[in-house]
Amino acid sequence: MKNRNAWALLPIGVFVILYLSFGIAFEYVLDISMGFYNVPIVVIFLVSLLVACLQNRGVSFDEKLKIMGQGVGDKNIITMILIFLLAGIFVGVVGRSSAESVAYFMLSVIPVRFSVCVLFVVSCFISTAMGTSVGTITLIVPIAIAVSSSSGFSLPLCIGSVIGGAMFGDNISFISDTTIAACNGQGCNMKDKFYTNFAVVCPAALVTLGIIFALSANCETVGTIDKQYDLVQIIPYVLVLIGGIAGINVFITLLVGIVTGSIIMLAGGTLTFYELMTGMGSGASGMFETAMVAILVSAICALIRHAGGFDALLFAIQRVFKGKKAGQLGIGLLVGAMDIATANNTVAIVMANPIASQMAENYGISNKKTASVLDTFSCIFQGIIPYGAQMLVALSAASTMGYSISAFDIIPNLFYPYMLLLSSLIFIFFVPERNKNKQ
């Protein structure tokens, strides 16, 4: 703490100001669809990196390059990037039809009056299997709209249930970019983080399911929901899910999913070999920006840490949050504030990782608990903010299908993020963490 230098945090301030300014201008002034996600985030981070390089004149530029290289070359960063790419390839292979098969299978065998509950459960499963909340919402919201129009259920309730289920899987999936970022940033085993997380999210999901059932039980339903499906296509998802829970190396688990998915898609005639290779390429390229953000943030944070910026931030945090439980809340609010600023929970976790790691060491918080708090609170905030990709994608899908609905119609129906926040606070302040070393 002797090397405190608050000015070293300037690059983070520059990033937040530029990103929010461009995002608000694109989204609300120029009325550009998905405005926040059209901001060139890599360019903004490069500007922040330039600011970090211009600071601390007592260190030569060559020495700063060495410091950045050490930050980027960390084993956890390399592991994170490789898992990002493999996860992208997996999603590119299994594609849209597998997820739709799960949804239509459950909707066809479960009575119509439980359709909204099914939408929530299906979204939980698909997002856990695919590791992407935005991808899940893209696939399931059109089905939710069809459920609403054919059965009579409230459209905001249907869409809110899908968004909630999507955030469930985004939080605990083994191939979610948030899980990858949190676990590798904290040097935590994914299986350990999963079990720690599951104890928090399971009660929240069950209470949410009860609320949805209570709200939809008295609705008059009409019509049926029926469409062809192929259950064989969900096998790769199930294998990845089982492999992750069993604690099998994530690289092996993803490779098994990719190979199995490729065989099923080719043998069933769903994809040609060319389409399969194209899907792999597009899936991997979809992760390029996320990987580049991880590299740039690592370089920026290495310079900030060397200049004493993290020491200054930690000193301020520790004056406000006293004790281990308050420290966990501090980590949650830290990543939540970064998510509000960036509207991207993966970026928020990558930015918060080095600070959270030091906080965990100072407060005596285990790495699996830190990773769980980072991932959980980032998903809570991301699931609620009206300008997040999840909300914007859902609204765009509704608009494309001719339905006019606003974010503020859906926000009151986002029961899962609210229940997850409540469950997280209960586990932080009232449930003691298990100590494996206790005799």
Digit-coded pLDDT (tens) for 336-365: 888 887 778 888 888 888 888 888 988 899
Q: Does residue 152 lie in a domain region?
A: yes
Alpha-carbon span 246 to 240, nearest angstrom: 10
- 434 in a domain, yes or no? no
Lowest mean pLDDT among 14-23, 45-54, 105-114, 406-415: 105-114
pLDDT of residue 74: 73
- Is pLDDT of 102 > 80? no
Q: What whole-number distance in Å separates Cα of residue 146 and Cα of residue 314?
A: 50
- Cα 398 versus chain centre, distance: 22
pLDDT at site 99: 64
Alpha helix positions (H), 217-323: 235-245, 250-267, 273-285, 288-307, 309-320
Q: What is the pTM of this model?
A: 0.79
Whether pLDDT at 103 is above 60: yes
Percent of the chain's residues with pLDDT above 90: 18
The CA distances from residue 404 to 33, 397, 398, 401, in Å, are: 15, 10, 7, 9
Q: How confident is the model at residue 437 (pLDDT cuts 50, 70, 90)?
A: very low
Question: How much helix, strand and coil, in percent to the nearest 5, is found in the chain?
Answer: 80, 0, 20
Report residue 63 as tokens: 């020495």
C-alpha dist (Å) from residue 303 to 60, 194, 196, 278: 12, 32, 32, 38
* Mean pLDDT (whole number) for 269-287: 86
Residue 439 resides in a domain: no
Q: Domain span at residue 120?
A: 6-429
> What CA–CA distance (Å, rounded) separates 225 from 351?
43
Residue 437 lies in a domain: no
Q: Is residue 438 part of a domain?
A: no
Query: Would you say residue 160 lies in a domain?
Result: yes
Phi, psi of 389 (to 5 degrees): -60, -40
Q: Classify residue 436 by its DSSP letter.
A: T
Short-list 359, 348, 356, CA closest to 383:
348
- What is the average pLDDT across 295-299? 86
Q: Is residue 287 part of a domain?
A: yes
**Is the predicted pLDDT of residue 436 greater than 60, yes or no?**
no
Output 367 or 222, whichever has higher pLDDT: 367
Q: State yes or no: pLDDT of 292 exceeds 90.
A: no
Which pLDDT value is given to residue 338? Answer: 83
- The reply to whether 18 falls in a domain is yes
Q: How many domains does the chain have?
A: 1
